[in-house]
Amino acid sequence: MVSCWNRGDRVFTIEPGDRIAQMVFVPITQAKFELVTLSMQRPR
């Protein structure tokens, strides 16, 4: 199922079977955080 909006000035009809969408797979990077205390931080 695809959600569509017509932001133009002309009427546009989408019929069943019309190809209107494209799927793109992209990698998702998940960061890993490490909690530290102030005594563990290095001087900059």
Domain chopping of the chain, boundaries:
1-44
Q: How far is CA 9 from CA 6, 12, 22, 39, in A?
A: 8, 9, 24, 62
The Cα 42–Cα 16 span in angstroms is 62
The 10s digit of each residue's pLDDT in 1-44 is: 888 889 999 998 999 999 999 999 999 999 999 887 777 566 66
Q: Which residue has the tokens 């209107």?
A: 20
pLDDT, position 44? 66
First-last CA distance in the chain: 51
